[in-house]
């Protein structure tokens, strides 16, 4: 190997090494920024109190009584099949699926998960055969 080819290969190695270091520097900067953004605590918005959520759920129920009827129908069907308890959130998911398949209107129909405790309590209060069908937390 000639002196000229040795110096060019050494120069090539030095260039490659410098590129790697720059790339590693950029990568470590990106990771550091990512870590800093991940370590920040997200802003927490406090949930509505039970009176506010009850009022919203009651208002929703007045506008959409078919939701209660569908939930009650599903509960009765499950009770007939031998279930002693079930998840109100699971039933909400079933309704979401049914309504998305059955409705073709432009109105966007939404079931808010915050309403599940209200519906669970309402169903159990109004239908003694379903008393204890859902597990609910003690209200504050």
pLDDT tens digits for range 40-78: 444 444 445 677 888 888 888 888 888 999 999 999 999
User: CB–CB of 92/114 below 8 Å?
Assistant: no
Query: Which residues, at least 6 apart from 65, have a Cβ–Cβ distance to it below 8 Å?
Result: none
User: Are 34 and 65 found together in one domain?
Assistant: no
For residue 11, the enclosing domain spans 1-44
Q: What is the pTM of this model?
A: 0.60
Instruction: Look at the chain and report how many structural domains it folds into.
Output: 2
User: CB–CB of 123/130 below 8 Å?
Assistant: yes
pLDDT (mean) for 119-133: 93
User: Are 1 and 35 found together in one domain?
Assistant: yes
What tens digit of pLDDT does each residue of 9-52 get? 878 887 787 787 777 777 666 665 665 554 444 444 444 567 78
Query: What is the rounded CA–CA span in Å between residue 78 and residue 124?
Result: 14
Q: What angle do CA 120, 124, 129 make, to 5 degrees?
A: 140
Asked whether residue 54 is assigned to any structural domain, the reply reads yes
User: Are 79 and 116 found together in one domain?
Assistant: yes
Task: Please list the alpha-helical segments (H only) found in 64-136.
Answer: 65-80, 88-102, 116-126
90 pLDDT more than 60: yes
Whole-number pLDDT of residue 112: 84
103 pLDDT more than 60: no
């Amino acid at each position: 190997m000639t002196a000229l080819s040795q110096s060019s290969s050494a120069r090539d190695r030095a260039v490659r090494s410098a590129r790697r270091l720059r790339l590693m520097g950029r990568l470590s900067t990106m990771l550091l920024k990512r870590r800093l953004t991940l370590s920040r605590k997200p802003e927490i918005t406090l949930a509505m109190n039970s009176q506010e959520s009850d009022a919203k759920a009651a208002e929703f129920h007045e506008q959409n009584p078919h939701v209660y009827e569908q939930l009650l129908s599903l509960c009765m069907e499950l009770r007939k099949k031998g279930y002693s308890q079930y998840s109100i959130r699971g039933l909400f998911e079933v309704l979401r699926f049914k309504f998305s398949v059955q409705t073709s209107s432009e109105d966007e129909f939404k079931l808010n998960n915050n309403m599940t405790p209200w519906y669970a309590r309402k169903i159990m209060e109004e239908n003694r055969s379903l008393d204890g069908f859902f597990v609910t937390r003690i209200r504050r």
